[in-house]
Structure 1
Amino acid sequence: MKFTAAIAAAVLSGSAEAFWRMECRGRSGLARIDPLVNPGVASAHAHTIFGSSGFTATSGTDELLAGDCTSCAVTQDKSAYWTPPMYFKNAATGQYKLVEQVGGMLSYYFLNYAPGETKITAFPHGMEMIAGDTNQRNFTAGESAPTTQKGLAQKAVGFNCLNYGLAAEGSLYRHFMPDKAYLDANCKDGIRAELMFPSCWNGKDVTSKNKMDHVAYPSTVMDGSCPPDFPIRLPGLFYETIWNTAEFNGVDGEFVFSNGDPTGYGYHGDFIMGWEETFLQSAVDTCTNYSGRIEDCPLFTIQTEAKSQTCEIKKPTGLLATVLSAEDLVGPIAGLPGGVKLTPGPGYVVKGAAPVSDASTVVVPTLSHSAGSTIAPSATAAPGGIFKENNAAAAVAKVASVTSVEAPATTEKPTLSLAANQKISKTSYLTQGGSVVEVIVIEEVTTVTDELKTKTVTAESRKRAHRHGRRHN
């Protein structure tokens, strides 16, 4: 008989930690609704919404849990995940059109322990939080590793230029939205918006006035040490959304998020906990595979993609319905939903300030493609802007003073020797603790003669496969 054994080899140093990838293939809503920022009324800008059908302008955890369905793959997850959608402004017509969202969204749950710890605490009942700042229009985190929460938050936003013909860029590698010319020339498969949430909690409050002050980022954004006042480690939420910018390749215009931000610095996301707390704690304690596959967690009940795509939020009622029912959020439309104006910065957006009418005047940095696997662990900035705590100088673009930034220096990766009966089957990349890991799966073929019969069986031992260079639709 003939069989294939798969061997995973970590070529670069680094430690893989458990995670799972929550697939939310169906969009449950597209509306100007935001129960965290504008409870009970129409929100300032449009949102693309995923998760529980119980999502409303006033919903919390209880209302989400009471929802009839979820647009995510795991039926026990009735959380709400939402971000601003992307629009394309046509230069010839001045009209806006919603950019296609490819494959819904992914929400990663990283189980990254704090140094010396072995405990991850599930989100408590009622937990709600916001990552990112809708009014940010420049990058002020500086070139060295940030020491403030504001700096870490700016590093937690990323835009990954997708070209499936090249090696993948690292997560959070670029902290700004590339301009139209760069997207047309380099990102033939679109752009992936990325957002990391804080994973350190004060252990007391499930919310705060600004939905941020009760949580904090660890020292290296995705992992590292928590601040002393935020000692409880939570699952690390990481949002990924792919936008089909390639649909507008060759068309004169610009991309802008629904909050009026063409820079990407103001990208943000919201989260309301929608799990049964005891169940989520069991999942955190039990589902510690490196594969990232929800199928590898025995606790999860997984619904079909077709089923998840049928789940929708209920239509608003009363005065809110009157305000929102006539809105066209898809386009082409004359302006952004809610009358939002373009605010390209570089100054911080102040409510009531006069908007800039021509966003094309903003200076956009450039950052060339850099494959995630080519940066050595000793580099000051790993792909994704995930840095070591002793980092002295990371290559970061500043819109206020820099118009072009080179990618971090690269070194050749180690050579892997293969036996005659071995071949590389596939590779994947992951970033942990400032180190980049390239995982190579090697197929080793062994032939055994059986005079009675011949049978082919394939078995593959999977390591963590956080495949940022592949489609997730």
Structure 2
Amino acid sequence: MRDFRLTAALAAYSTLFPAFTTAFWRLPCRGRTGVARLDPIVDPGEISSHVHSIHGGGNFGMSSDMQTLRESSCTSCAVTQDLSAYWTPALYFMHTNGSAELVEEVGGMLAYYLLYGEDITAFPSGFRMLAGNPLQRNFTWPVPDPPKSSWSGVQVSQEALRQKALGFNCLNYAGAAEASLYRHFMPNKTFLDENCPDGLRLELMFPSCWNGKDVDSEDHKSHVAYPDLVMTGTCPEGYETQLVSLFYETIWNTYAFKDVDGYFTLANGDPTGYGYHGDFMYGWEDGVLQAAVDTCTSASGEVGDCEVFDIQSETEQRQCWFDLPSELQNEDVQMHADGLPGDMLIEWGPAYATMDKGSATTSSSSSAFLSLPTTSISFSVNAGKLLGQADALNTAEAATTTSTSTPTPTPTTSLQTDHFTEEIVYVKQDVIVMLGEGGVPYTTSTGTRRTVSTTTTTATQTSTVVSYVEKRDSVPVELEKRDPVAEHAIRHAHNHHRHMHKRHGH
């Protein structure tokens, strides 16, 4: 990752946000309190199934709540009165020998607090929420997103808005910036190697409409909802209370793996990105966040411009860590030899993931999804390839992921030629896309997989490694550039702050 040290002054941009608001602040969390299989919202009191990258209050742990966070002696974020916890799944690179290497997170996390709407309220005491769906493995809406002015019906359903709230932003500081939430899947490694020298920025917009009574819900989502344009718009009935809007950014140094054989996956076994998600647990000191919402209305985005906040240095932010529970102290989350930590199964979809424990060399069965005005498709896969693929269909409106199991040659630690027999099974399966009003797809179903033919061949492999995993260098094709008006709300804020991104990695 190239190291930029720029100190260019920031210009005012009061016209870059929607007319009804210009106020926001970016909360830098330059430190990281830890990387571990912990999630006190989804898995309270237990070890989580997958690894998270965690920022915020230093008293984070398996059983954290607002009170324990407020007892933290430090925070990895800039504002010392904020002891909240912010976490997302970590990003890993899967090597062809089966090991999973943690990708470098550049510059920590940025948590945007955006003052969209009117009569905005701070998060209530004890509040917590989850955004995204860790089991999702496809995108069930038109690709690319149509202009927001045309969204209606199922396009503004909560299911659709949740999927549109994810972003994977290719970073190239020498070129034009991509819009926030531009694409909703993780680009394939070939694209990242060729186009993203400054890494990949993962983005997540949280719901900002609240039912006004519950600080949590059984699924950690049902007490909140998205406005009908994801970031802005009208709150649905029953969720009229407008919360401060929360938006996460993390940058990962994917370019460090340029030309290295393998593929990227989220820690929850998701190589597609559709299952990206994040958690927030409130831990602000009483009254501070509401005071900031009411008075910190600068358009600069700088936390230092808000007199309510006590700011600590980046050095202090990087000196805050939580204590690992004894069960995790010997788990190597930096370079895990046998697949993802937690033995998390890697599943390519498009069916919902199980997130079961299993070998990282095993993926879900082959299937496909199309968001095209059609009723069914058929396809064939080679189910016996040593190195499987996730191939893209031929248009920006169609995405197919193909997954196969991997035969394992005899382990060896020296250079040798391996001869092995592989059976190729050609299968066929129908995928039915149900279309609603205006040709908008609203659900899919898959038929029974049918064997068409089989054949047996002998293959030769020269290697020095002890095992192999599937190589997945291709996932759904890149999206066409979205309508620029659709992302007016936050896109220009990113463009304006590119110097700050270059300086700190954000």
- Normalising by the smaller structure, the TM-score range is 0.7 to 0.9
Matches within 5 A, 1:234-313: 234-313=243-322
In 1, Cα distance between the equivalents of 2:183 and 2:349? 18
Residue of structure 2 aligned with 1:361, choices 368, 376, 389: 389
In 2, Cα distance between the equivalents of 1:301 and 1:53? 17
| 1:84 alignment counterpart | 89
Matches within 5 A, 1:121-140: 121-140=121-140
**Secondary structure class of the residue paired with 2:203:** strand
Q: 1:286-315 deviations in whole A, cap 9, x for unaligned?
A: 101111000100111000100110011123
Task: Letter of the 1:216 partner, please give it.
Answer: A
| 1:445 alignment counterpart | none
> Measured at CA, do residues 359 and 154 of structure 1 come closer, stay the same or move farther in structure 2, by a change above 3 Å?
farther
Q: Which runs of 5+ in 2 are unaligned?
A: 1-8, 365-385, 397-437, 447-474
| 2:196 alignment counterpart | 187
In 2, Cα distance between the equivalents of 1:197 and 1:71? 21
| 1:345 alignment counterpart | 349
Q: How far is 1:408 from its partner?
A: 4.0
The 8 Å contact of residues 26 and 113 in structure 2, kept in 1 or not, is answered as: yes
Q: How far is 1:469 from its partner?
A: 6.6
Q: Does 2:73 correspond to 1:68?
A: yes
Matches within 5 A, 1:440-455: none
Q: Does 2:181 correspond to 1:177?
A: no
Residue of structure 1 aligned with 2:28, choices 23, 26, 38: 23
**Secondary structure class of the residue paired with 2:92:** strand
Q: Does 2:195 correspond to 1:155?
A: no
> Measured at CA, do residues 70 and 124 of structure 1 come closer, stay the same or move farther in structure 2, by a change above 3 Å?
same
| 1:58 alignment counterpart | 63
In 2, Cα distance between the equivalents of 1:10 and 1:68? 37
The 8 Å contact of residues 263 and 364 in structure 1, kept in 2 or not, is answered as: no
Task: Letter of the 2:157 partner, please give it.
Answer: T
- Return the TM-score normalized by structure 1: 0.76
Q: How far is 1:365 from its partner?
A: 7.2
Residue of structure 2 aligned with 1:32, choices 29, 32, 37: 37
In 2, Cα distance between the equivalents of 1:206 and 1:212? 10
Q: 1:2-31 deviations in whole A, cap 9, x for unaligned?
A: xxx998578889435210000000000111
In 1, Cα distance between the equivalents of 2:69 and 2:479? 45
In 2, Cα distance between the equivalents of 1:57 and 1:346? 31
Task: Letter of the 1:250 partner, please give it.
Answer: D
The 8 Å contact of residues 137 and 347 in structure 1, kept in 2 or not, is answered as: yes
**Secondary structure class of the residue paired with 1:207:** coil
In 1, Cα distance between the equivalents of 2:302 and 2:17? 23
The 8 Å contact of residues 54 and 313 in structure 1, kept in 2 or not, is answered as: yes
| 1:431 alignment counterpart | 488
Q: How far is 1:95 from its partner?
A: 1.4
| 1:165 alignment counterpart | 174
In 2, Cα distance between the equivalents of 1:367 and 1:302? 48
- Return the TM-score normalized by structure 2: 0.71
In 1, Cα distance between the equivalents of 2:57 and 2:269? 27
Runs of 4+ residues over 2 Å off in structure 1: 5-17, 141-145, 350-355, 357-368, 402-406, 408-411, 436-440, 464-473
In 2, Cα distance between the equivalents of 1:39 and 1:193? 25
Q: Which runs of 5+ in 1 are unaligned?
A: 369-391, 414-428, 441-463
In 2, Cα distance between the equivalents of 1:393 and 1:432? 28
**Secondary structure class of the residue paired with 1:182:** helix
Supply the RMSD in Å over aligned alpha carbons: 3.3
Aligned residues: 392
Aligned-pair identity (%): 48
Q: 1:257-291 deviations in whole A, cap 9, x for unaligned?
A: 11000000000000000112411110110101111
**Secondary structure class of the residue paired with 1:432:** helix
Q: How far is 1:141 from its partner?
A: 3.0
**Secondary structure class of the residue paired with 1:431:** helix
**Secondary structure class of the residue paired with 2:129:** strand
In 2, Cα distance between the equivalents of 1:179 and 1:279? 42
